Amino acid sequence: MITRRAAAQVLASASLSAAVLAAVGSATLSPARAEDKTIKVGISLSLTGADAHSANLIANGAILAIEQANAAGVIPGYKVEIMKLDDGTATAGQYDPAQAATNARKMVSDKDVVAAIGPQMSGAGKAMAPILSQGDLATITPSSTNPDITNPKFADQYRPAGKPIYFRTVTTDAFQGPNMANYMAEVLKVKSVYVLDDSGAYGVGLADAFQAQAEKKGIKVMGRDRLDPKAADYTAVLTKIKQLNPDALYYGGVLQAGVKLAKQAYDIVPNMIKAGGDGMYGPELLSAVGYPANEGWYATIASPHLSGSDKVGEFSRLYQSRFGEQPDDYAITAYDAGLVIVDAIKKVAASGKPVTRDAVRDAIQTSKVPTLQGTVSFDANGDLADRTVSIFQIKQDKAAKADDMDKQYRYIAVAPQS
């Protein structure tokens, strides 16, 4: 029998040896190298509210790009950390420009943040751009399409420090709205249209651009009205539209009003041609609106249509296994934005210069990066050089799951350029 004292001694020496072994072991097991420097990329998206599902798809695209870069050691000596921020608030029920501005300030004040991805919504972008400009922090948005933010006419407002900091892997509403008007006039032979917006920065800009082009193409604009995204009832304005009886209805805006509009428009004007911008391209239109109310709605996106195609098959498989659902087109543009940032940081690090925001911004500006959507490069204002707008229409595919974006949104064509 071992005495208690002896047992205690054995225990003590065993623990001590274990500790020493562990220390020695870890020192020899891990390669002797300098600590990887941590740099951060901020991701600010509307993760709360009506567009939360789309925001998640986008966030995951960006995260996948950064994770892959870290895992493959693409940027030697650096580890990229993600700072995920939410610009949606419960009170707004969707993106909140004030919250977006707070997020921008948070990213700017953190010295480790060298670049950002986002925002998702142009209303957030308008609030963030001046702050990012003064912080010299570049951001690449995968989905914000309002053209004012990169328009040199408004440079004083959106980039007071001078250099472009708002880059996009999508094109803008300067093309998204008008190209849909072209499609309506040339292909659908629409003669009259009623235009609605949701009073947000994106919606109003898109509706304005569509309306201007529709008039140029000879479509009679029978009226223009504003929807309150917080109000539940659009029957009054839809009844007005029913009486005017245009061929088509165009809605510029995001889902908070869009879901309600789709449901009520189906009850009141079921046979009218209905179209919206990329705000109406989202899983909520399938799940919250459902059949038959969403049948026949046209939606455009400001990028080429890639999700579901073989070109991105490998990416889709990786995304599916990592996050459990299929990526949509803006998840792909977000992934591409991640690739561009990783490439920019790599270029700066490889040149031996310190990885600063300024250097990364300059590297982004001169990017020519191969990505899923082709070679991404930006013009002098930060806009994507490629200007493809894709059109979809919801046509029920009974064989597929009701919220399968790929199967339920039928890809129609690239919208005709002006």
Interface with another protein (CB under 8 A) = 48-50, 52-53, 88, 90-91, 93, 199, 225-228, 230-237, 239-240, 242-243, 245, 255-256, 259-260, 263-264, 267, 284, 287-293
CA neighbor of 133 nearest in space, from 88, 167, 110:
167
Least separation, in Å, of the C-beta of 259 and another protein? 5
Q: Shortest gap between Cβ of 359 and another protein (angstroms)? A: 38
Shortest distance in whole angstroms from residue 51 CB to another protein: 8
Count Cβ atoms below 10 Å from residue 79 Cβ, excluding itself: 15
Q: DSSP states of 250-309 as a string?
A: EEES-HHHHHHHHHHHHHH-TTSEEEE-GGG-SHHIIIII-TTTTTT-EEEESS---TTS
CB of 267 to another protein, least distance (A): 7
Measured from the CB atom, is 120 or 388 closer to another protein?
120
DSSP state of 146: -
- Residue 221 token pair: 């604009």
Q: Which is nearer to another protein, 54 or 146 (CB)?
A: 54
For residue 401, the minimal CB distance to another protein (Å) is 14
Q: How far is CA 346 from CA 39, 76, 80, 166, 394, in A?
A: 12, 8, 11, 20, 41
| Cβ nearer to another protein, comparing 260 with 361 | 260
* Residue 268: CB minimum distance to another protein, A: 8
Q: CA 11 to CA 4: how far, in whole Å?
A: 10
Chain centroid offset of residue 245 CA: 35
Per DSSP, what are the bridge partners of residue 369?
376
Is the Cβ of residue 294 or residue 303 nearer to another protein in the bound state?
294
- Please identify, using beta-carbon distances, which residue of 381 and 396 lies nearer to another protein: 396
CB of 133 to another protein, least distance (A): 30
Q: How far is the CB of 30 from another protein (least distance, A)?
A: 40
If the CB atoms of residues 239 and 320 are measured against another protein, the closer one turns out to be: 239
Cβ proximity to another protein: between 284 and 328 the closer is: 284
For 110-200, where are the alpha helices, taking DSSP H only?
122-135, 155-158, 173-186
Tokens 């004012």 belong to: 148
CB 252 within 8 A of CB 277: yes
How is residue 64 annotated by DSSP?
Answer: H
Nearer to another protein, 217 or 242 (CB): 242
**Sole residue written with tokens 């053209």:** 147
